[in-house]
Amino acid sequence: EVVLTQSPATLSLSPGERATLSCRASQSVSNYLAWYQQKPGQAPRLLIFDASKRATDIPARFSGSGSGTDFTLTISSLEPEDFAVYYCQQRSNWPPVTFGQGTRLDIK
């Protein structure tokens, strides 16, 4: 099973700042990686798939990069609605899929 490790566990930033979230895979997943955003009481929302492709209606301030084992989600300038928990997910050896443990993005 591919294990995804996200860092940091919690990131405290202010609106307008740049956020950089990391996801490391225990083995190569090529570019088969997605990022989801989850707010309290809501389902996960897909932001990025295939490591760098934005899903429909996702603002351009969200971008993804990486391949192999190291991936990054960048939010270029934080908006108040961006404070949430972010998960990475891989599908390289579908099925199964596995998720990271999440990074909580808090308002500083």
Partner 1 sequence: QLQLNESGPGLVKPSETLSLICTVSGASLSSGPYYWGWFRQSPGKGLEWIGGLYYSGTPYYNPSLKSRVTISADRSKNQLSLTVASVTAADTAVYYCARDLTISGEVFRGYFSPWGQGVLVTVSS
The residues of the shown chain that bind partner 1, judged by CB under 8 A, are: 32, 34, 42-46, 49-50, 55-56, 87, 89, 91, 94-102
Q: Which is nearer to partner 1, 61 or 91 (CB)?
A: 91
d(Cα 83, Cα 14) in Å, to the nearest integer?
10
**Least CB distance from residue 101 to partner 1, whole Å?**
5
**Least CB distance from residue 16 to partner 1, whole Å?**
28
Q: What are the phi and psi torsion angles at 80 (to 5°)?
A: -55, -30
**Least CB distance from residue 14 to partner 1, whole Å?**
27
DSSP 8-class letter at 17? S
Q: Which is nearer to partner 1, 35 or 83 (CB)?
A: 35
Torsion of CA 11, 13, 15, 17, to 10 degrees: -100
Q: Which is nearer to partner 1, 37 or 75 (CB)?
A: 37
Distance of CA 11 to the CA centre of its chain: 13
